[in-house]
Chains A and B, each alone.
Chain A
Amino acid sequence: MAQRIDVKDLNIFYGSFKAVADVNMTIEPRSVTAFIGPSGCGKSTFLRTLNRMHEVIPGARVEGTVAVEGVDLYGSEIDPVAVRRQVGMVFQRPNPFPTMSIAENVLAGIRLNNRKMSKSEGQDLVEQSLRGANLWNEVKDRLDRPGSGLSGGQQQRLCIARAIAVKPQVLLMDEPCSALDPISTLAIEDLIAELKSQYTIVIVTHNMQQAARVSEKTAFFNIAGTGQPGRLIEIDDTATMFSSPKEQATEDYISGRFG
């Protein structure tokens, strides 16, 4: 189910402004790849090009290719809606649908796919997804209550359950723990460690310890100055990146001697 992503010569534009330039990287299947870098360096923007979510902003476009198992996501016959069904996403702030119950939230993606599903199948999937997100034991008695009644960390795990319920090939996480307390963060990190056996996971984080803890590969993005495009400086095994990076900029950033 997990698949490999090849990014080649990717440039991202907002109108005439070049936001991210010349990204080349390979994201391995069944592993966690972390993106680190200062704010505004384009790592979230780049992450959103992996499921064409950046197109939601008017004027956004890309040049180059993003290939999942050899299929270019930006090919002319590719439907962005279909891409997003294959590449799931978890956002910075938990965003369960407030008008839906916990169970409905989990099934939201399935409903979209118009898959006819019997009630018991639906219940099974809800349980399976919530167990997958380590949330089942906490919410199994109140599946019909609104998702907005949960704590922030529970809501974020609900969002992860919602994302994995449609069985995507890739899971993108855009700073999934930045709005959470340390205990909830730990719960999410444990979950990521479990999920990587089945999914290709890409995570953007500002927390370098988190990148070191959860990821196999780390990519460092940087920006030369305001108005300049963000660039991929270096991508390597996380252990190497945090001990002996090739680039001086990476070492400066990781050791906190940035700028």
Chain B
Amino acid sequence: MTSTQPRTAGSTDPDAPPAGTTAKRLKSGHGDRGGSRVFRWVSTGAGVLILVILAAVAIFLVQRAWPAITADPEELASRISWFRADSLLGFVGPLVFGTLLAAALALLIATPIAIGIALFISHYAPRRLANALGYVVDLLAAIPSVVYGLWGGLVLSPLVTPVWQWLGDWFGWIPLFGGSVSPTGRVMMTVGVVLAVMILPIITAICREVFLQTPRLHEEAALALGATQWEMVRMAVLPFARSGIVSAAMLGMGRALGETMAVLMILSPGFAYSFQLLVAGKQQTIAANIAAQFPEANQTGVATLIATGLALFVITLAVNMAARAIVARRKDFSGAN
């Protein structure tokens, strides 16, 4: 082999690449470059697509809601049988309130339980039990919401009524549990419980994944200082998982905000700004209200309903941005650096 010999065009070395190959390689780049370029466009396109969809939804909502937004409130009231408010804002307001109340209640109930289950699966349960439990939790997510609605309306409502009654009797002095407790159980509190069950799987699944990713090094650091298992969890696992927990809760809240069937089938609706969770006919959510009124709505009615949908869209965006802001605020301490 004459490997030291420069490979010129006249070389007779059979192993030598054809003349000018090096220059060509440098110019045209490697063969992978084409694929890499395609991948870049595909991924950029996918990223842009999501923005386009978001914009399309926003435009659709604004456009279709426009007649209701610009209409005279009296005109709305005369054309829509169920419109009982002084203005569009006066109509949307209580619905926004009800939606947020239901979602907040669900989140308040579900998050601690989900964190508990996730911690049990990731740090306490023996491996086999943990796997089985993980499957069961995932299975909960596969149940359609109409089934949850049926269960909530037919089984849970009568079941919890005595509990709500008891709460009203003993803790009625707390405004949340005040008022005359509904004998049917079709109240906001029941909705909160059912929504909590519905969002439990997603929060649990994400929390579990995040907890499992806690660096072994940090867990051992805590244990070596003489931490018990729980102290280790508090010192190393939960702080590390903080932003993950917030994200999980927000995803759950997203589902709770938009949940339609379960709320529709359980809640006895009303249009008041009321924190009384155990009284029937006080609140209603946006999604359930749309589903309830849409089938028999005329053109103006549909525009009004879409205006409430626009409000839901804005709320969801705002909630997600708020969650991101919370996570970003303590970025330095997140463990990502």
Contact = CB atoms under 8 A, between A and B. Distances in A.
Decide whether A and B assemble into one complex: yes
Given A53-B223, A91-B217, 18 more contacts: A56-B223, A83-B226, A88-B224, A91-B220, A95-B217, A95-B221, A97-B218, A98-B239, A98-B335, A98-B337, A99-B333, A100-B333, A109-B226, A112-B226, A112-B235, A146-B332, A146-B333, A163-B224
A160 to B, nearest CB: 12
Interface in B200-227: 215, 217-227
A149 B335 CA distance: 10
A126 interface: no
Contacts of B242: 99
B240 interface: yes
A51 B239 CA distance: 25
B226 A81 contact: yes
Q: Is the interface of B mostly helix, strand, loop or mixed?
A: helix
B11 interface: no
A84 interface: yes
A3 to B, nearest CB: 16
A89 B223 CA distance: 10
Nearest to A159: B221
Interface in A97-128: 97-101, 108-109, 112-113
Report the 7 A-B pairs with minimum CB-CB distance, sorted nearest first: A85-B226, A98-B335, A99-B239, A89-B224, A109-B225, A84-B226, A95-B217
Given A91-B220, A112-B231, A148-B337, A97 B226 contact: no
Of A51, A82, A84, A95, chain B has the most CB atoms within 10 Å of the CB of A95
B225 A163 contact: yes
A166 B334 contact: no
Interface in A50-102: 51, 53, 56, 81-85, 88-89, 91, 93, 95-101
Contact of B224 (A84, A97, A113): A84
B228 interface: yes
B236 interface: yes
Contacts, number: 82
A95 B235 CA distance: 13
Given A145-B332, A149-B332, A98 B240 contact: yes
A99 B224 contact: no
Interface of A: 51, 53, 56, 81-85, 88-89, 91, 93, 95-101, 108-109, 112-113, 145-146, 148-149, 159, 162-163, 166
Contacts of B333: 98-101, 146
A32 B49 CA distance: 63
A108 B225 contact: yes
Contacts of B221: 91, 95-97, 159, 162
A93 B225 contact: no
A51 B335 contact: no
Q: Number of contact residues on B: which range applies? A: 20 to 34
17 contacts: A56-B220, A84-B223, A88-B224, A95-B215, A95-B221, A96-B221, A98-B239, A98-B337, A99-B333, A99-B335, A101-B333, A108-B222, A108-B225, A145-B332, A146-B332, A148-B335, A162-B221
Given A91-B221, A95-B217, A97-B218, A81 B227 contact: yes
Interface string B297-337: 00000000000000000000000000000000010111101
Contacts of A162: 221, 225
B328 to A, nearest CB: 15
Given A89-B224, A148-B337, A97 B217 contact: no
Nearest to B242: A99
B235 A97 contact: yes
Contacts of B239: 97-100
A99 B240 contact: yes
Contacts of B215: 95
A98 B218 contact: yes
Interface string B224-250: 111110010001100110100000000
Contacts of B224: 51, 53, 84, 88-89, 91, 163
A107 to B, nearest CB: 11
Contact of A84 (B225, B240, B335): B225
B79 to A, nearest CB: 57
Contacts of B231: 112
Contacts of A82: 226
B231 to A, nearest CB: 6
Interface centre among B217, B220, B221, B240 (most CB of A within 10 A): B221
A173 to B, nearest CB: 11
A92 B239 CA distance: 22
Q: Which among B217, B223, B226 has the highest number of chain A CB atoms within 10 Å?
A: B226
Contacts of A149: 332, 337
Contacts of B335: 98-99, 148
Nearest to A94: B217
Contact of B225 (A56, A88, A99): A88
A146 B337 CA distance: 10
Contacts of A113: 226
Nearest to A162: B225
